[in-house]
Structure 1
Amino acid sequence: MKKTFVLVVLFIFPLVAYLFFASGVNNFGKLPTLTENVPDISQVDSSVTLDGKITILGFLGSDVEGKKGNAFNLNQKIYKRFSEFQDFQMVMVVPEESRNQIEPLREELSELSDDQRWNFALGSNEAILAFFQELKTDITLDADLYTPYVFIIDKDRNLRGRNDDEDEGVKFGFNTTSVAELNNKMEDDVKIILAEYRLALKKNNADRIK
């Protein structure tokens, strides 16, 4: 009996574990693409680009001071966890008229963490609205060009999200006013997309060696 138990532990359990994790990779290895070929944010602000970056994209609107709590939530729950990745960035879109509100927010963010991967794209109201519409989501901007939702954009400028979310079905964005949503959903999805790129990089490196 003891020998049988030892054999199960040594041989059967590792096999079961392998099959379980292999199945997980197949089912959860990629974050679904919901909108392809999102335009580059450079059409709003030429100093910022989405190309070649995993981007958390948000729209703070004209009242940046009033919405800084959203940025703090995002900073603490998402940015601080993933900012070590070189290809990761935050891009917050703000109307040109609110330019003077950005620096105070950046100073406060810098007190919480290294803010070098926080970027702010400034543009006209018309350019911001036109860009947002190209995301093709079920979310709208309010009159101040604000939404509490942020979006995951991959290196090829595709909007990634969930097509089988337990609460919303298709989930385009993540609500920055909800710490629970950032913790329980967005963090997992950012992990998935970063793992996806890491696996692709390892495969490419292995292929070069062959």
Structure 2
Amino acid sequence: MKNKVVLVILFILPIVTYLIFASAKHNSLFLPTLSEHNTEIPKDWSSLRNENIQLKDKITVLGFTGSDMVEFKANMFNLNQKIYNKYFGFEDFQMVMIAPLGTESEIQKIISELDRITEDMKGWKFVFASPEKIQEYYTGLHLKTNLNANSGTSNVIILDKNINHRGRIGKNRKGEEEFRESYNSSSAADLHNEMTDDVKIILREYRLALKKNKRKDEFKDNIVNEVEKSSQAK
């Protein structure tokens, strides 16, 4: 009897636990997909450093600055301190901000100020377009919130490497219904309590995938080596 109990603990319980986590809409292991394969940043939009900025193959925090630079400066400071400083060391992580044309010099000033208290600002990316094009792009994301009169919003969203919009939907770990498509950058508490965890989940997801692929490659290489050794022995 005791042996059966041990077998249940060792083999059946982990499987049941996995199924419980896998069936949950949002938990500490997975962040749901809200929309898939969203539009890439148009190539004809200008950037602050004349670099090619793309969302594909990057984990992106995407935001819309608007033309009110006083408001955006406060929001960028929150994002920089609560999110960027924690995760900028990940090569595939970036903060992409879409801004109205004509705000380039003001944004550069904000970057210069934050550069004094930030180790490396290269993960911050800015692209510029007319208010009409910004609105068109924003509409294509099918978000429940709207841009303000300055073509901006304090809300930012998370996109994965396939430009899928990730967030929260369904029941949380407490069994409560929730929906979260964005995070309010004007609220340090929202970024610290909610967004930090969700970004961490996405990064961990890709880290685990890389480790899994590495193990597969090592297994394949071992097989090839064994086959080559056998051939040489013959």
**2:117 matched residue in structure 1:** 112
Cα distance in 2 for partners of 1:208, 1:172 equals 36
Within 5 Å, which residues of 2 pair with 1:14-93?
22=18, 26=22, 27=24, 28=27, 29-43=29-43, 45=45, 47-93=52-98
* Structure 1 contact 65–101 (Cα < 8 Å) conserved: no
Q: TM-score, normalised by structure 2?
A: 0.77
Q: How does 1:1-210 map to 2 (within 5 A)?
A: 22=18, 26=22, 27=24, 28=27, 29-43=29-43, 45=45, 47-113=52-118, 114-164=120-170, 169-210=178-219
Q: For residues 170-189 of structure 1, give each alpha carbon's deviation from its aligned partner in whole angstroms, at most 9, with x where no partner exists.
A: 21100011111111110000
Deviation at 1:67, TM superposition (A): 1.9
Give 1:126 shift.
1.5
For the structure 1 residues 44 and 150, does the alpha-carbon distance in structure 2 shift closer, same or farther, using more than 3 Å as the test? farther
Gap regions ≥5 residues in structure 1: 1-11
**Corresponding letter in the other structure for 1:176:** S
Counterpart residue type for residue 199 of structure 2: V
Segment drifting more, 17-26 vs 121-130: 17-26
**Once structures 1 and 2 are overlaid, which stretch shifts more, 40-49 or 77-86?**
40-49
Moved more, 192-201 or 46-55: 46-55
Is the CA contact (8 Å cut-off) linking 1:58 and 1:91 kept in structure 2? yes
Q: Write the distance in 1 (CA, Å) between the matches of 2:71 and 2:158.
A: 23
SS in 2 for 1:112: coil
User: Which segment drifts farther, 76-85 or 21-30?
Assistant: 21-30
Q: Which runs of 5+ in 2 are unaligned?
A: 1-7, 47-51, 220-234
Give 1:31 deviation, angstroms. 1.0
* Paired letter, 2:60: T
Please tell me whether Structure 1 or Structure 2 has the larger radius of gyration of its CA atoms.
Answer: 2
Task: For 1:157, give the aligned amino acid.
Answer: I
TM-score by length of 1: 0.85
Q: Which residue of 1 aligns with 2:227?
A: none
Deviates more, 1:98-107 or 1:165-174: 165-174
Q: Against the structure 1 CA distance between its residues 168 and 92, is the aligned structure 2 distance closer, same or farther, given a 3 Å change threshold? A: farther
SS at match of 2:163: coil
Q: Which whole-Å deviations, capped at 9, do the CAs of 1:60-103 have from their partners, x for residues lacking one?
A: 10122332000000000000000000000001110012222111
**Amino acid aligned to 2:141:** L
User: Percent identical across equivalent pairs?
Assistant: 40
